[in-house]
Structure 1
Amino acid sequence: MTTALWFSGQGAQSVGMAKSLYEADGDVRELFSRADETLGMPLSKLCFEGPMEELTKTSVCQPALFLHGICVATILKKRGMLGELKAALGLSLGELTAHALAGTYSFEDGLKIVAERGRLMQEACDASKGAMSCFIGASIDAVKPYCEEFDVDMANLNCPGQVVISGEAEKIEAATAAAKERKAFKLVVPLKVAGAYHSRLMEPARAKFEKFLAGIEFKKPNIAVFTNVTGEQISDPTEIKKALVKQVVSPVKWELCVRNAAKLGIEQYYECGPGGVLAGIAKRIDKELNVKSIAEFGDFE
Structure 2
Amino acid sequence: MELQRALLFDGQGAQEVGMGRDLCEADADVRCLYEEADRVLEMPLSSLSFHGPAEALVQTAVCQPALFVHGIAFFTLLQKRVPSFRFSVAAGLSLGELTAHAAAGTFSFSAGLRLVKTRAMAIQKAAEEAPGGMIALVGADKATAEEIAREARLDIANYNAPGQLILSGTHQALALVPELARERKVRKVIPLDVSGAFHSRLMHKAAEELRRFLEDFPLEAPRVPVFSNYLGRPVRRPDEIRSTLIHQVEGSVRWEDCIRGMLEQGIGQFVEIGPRPILTGLLRRIAPQAEGIALTTVLDLQSHEHTLLKR
Deviations 1:47-92 (A, max 9, x none): 0011111111100000100011111111221122663310110000
1:68 counterpart residue number: 70
Equivalent-residue separation in structure 2 for 1:73 and 1:84 (angstroms): 11
Is the contact made by 2:133 and 2:196 (CA closer than 8 Å) also made in structure 1?
Answer: yes
CA RMSD of superposed structures (Å): 1.2
Which amino acid in the other structure matches residue 255 of structure 1? E
Work out whether 1:169 is the aligned partner of 2:171.
Answer: yes
2:261 counterpart residue number: 260
1:281 counterpart residue number: 282
Q: What secondary structure does 1:157 align onto?
A: strand
Which amino acid in the other structure matches residue 164 of structure 2? Q
Is the contact made by 1:270 and 1:294 (CA closer than 8 Å) also made in structure 2?
Answer: yes
Work out whether 1:90 is the aligned partner of 2:92.
Answer: yes
Equivalent-residue separation in structure 1 for 2:79 and 2:277 (angstroms): 20
Which amino acid in the other structure matches residue 133 of structure 2? A
1:294 counterpart residue number: 295
2:308 counterpart residue number: none
Deviation at 1:267, TM superposition (A): 2.7
Q: What secondary structure does 1:287 align onto?
A: coil
Which amino acid in the other structure matches residue 209 of structure 2? K
Is the contact made by 1:3 and 1:83 (CA closer than 8 Å) also made in structure 2?
Answer: no
Is the contact made by 1:18 and 1:295 (CA closer than 8 Å) also made in structure 2?
Answer: no
Q: 2:15 aligned to 8, 13, 28, which one?
A: 13
Is the contact made by 2:10 and 2:272 (CA closer than 8 Å) also made in structure 1?
Answer: yes
1:226 counterpart residue number: 227
Alignment of 1:242-253 (within 5 A): 242-253=243-254
Is the contact made by 1:9 and 1:92 (CA closer than 8 Å) also made in structure 2?
Answer: yes
Which amino acid in the other structure matches residue 245 of structure 1? I
TM-score by length of 1: 0.97
Structure 2: runs of 5+ lacking an equivalent: 304-311
Equivalent-residue separation in structure 2 for 1:74 and 1:295 (angstroms): 14
Deviation at 1:265, TM superposition (A): 2.2
Equivalent-residue separation in structure 2 for 1:190 and 1:170 (angstroms): 13
Which amino acid in the other structure matches residue 92 of structure 2? G
1:214 counterpart residue number: 215
Structure 1: runs of 5+ lacking an equivalent: none
Equivalent-residue separation in structure 1 for 2:266 and 2:78 (angstroms): 20
Deviation at 1:2, TM superposition (A): 3.0
Is the contact made by 1:231 and 1:256 (CA closer than 8 Å) also made in structure 2?
Answer: yes
TM-score by length of 2: 0.94
Deviation at 1:206, TM superposition (A): 0.6
Deviation at 1:30, TM superposition (A): 1.2
- Give identity over the alignment, percent: 42
Q: 1:4 to 1:177 in 2, by over 3 A?
A: same
Equivalent-residue separation in structure 1 for 2:231 and 2:178 (angstroms): 26
2:307 counterpart residue number: none
Q: 1:89 to 1:193 in 2, by over 3 A?
A: same
Equivalent-residue separation in structure 1 for 2:5 and 2:154 (angstroms): 38
1:270 counterpart residue number: 271
Q: 1:106 aligned to 91, 105, 108, which one?
A: 108
Q: What secondary structure does 2:134 align onto?
A: strand
Q: What secondary structure does 2:88 align onto?
A: strand
Deviation at 1:175, TM superposition (A): 1.9
Q: What secondary structure does 2:231 align onto?
A: coil
Equivalent-residue separation in structure 1 for 2:110 and 2:138 (angstroms): 38
Deviation at 1:225, TM superposition (A): 0.5
Deviations 1:151-187 (A, max 9, x none): 111100000111111001110111233313x252111
Equivalent residue pairs, number: 300
Is the contact made by 2:144 and 2:184 (CA closer than 8 Å) also made in structure 1?
Answer: no
Which amino acid in the other structure matches residue 170 of structure 1? Q
Is the contact made by 2:280 and 2:293 (CA closer than 8 Å) also made in structure 1?
Answer: yes
Deviations 1:204-258 (A, max 9, x none): 1011110011121001000111000111110110110000000001010001111
Equivalent-residue separation in structure 1 for 2:151 and 2:270 (angstroms): 39
Q: What secondary structure does 1:189 align onto?
A: strand
Equivalent-residue separation in structure 1 for 2:203 and 2:34 (angstroms): 29
Deviations 1:181-205 (A, max 9, x none): x252111111111010000000010
Alignment of 1:112-261 (within 5 A): 112-180=114-182, 182=183, 184-261=185-262
Q: What secondary structure does 1:116 align onto?
A: helix
Is the contact made by 1:273 and 1:294 (CA closer than 8 Å) also made in structure 2?
Answer: yes
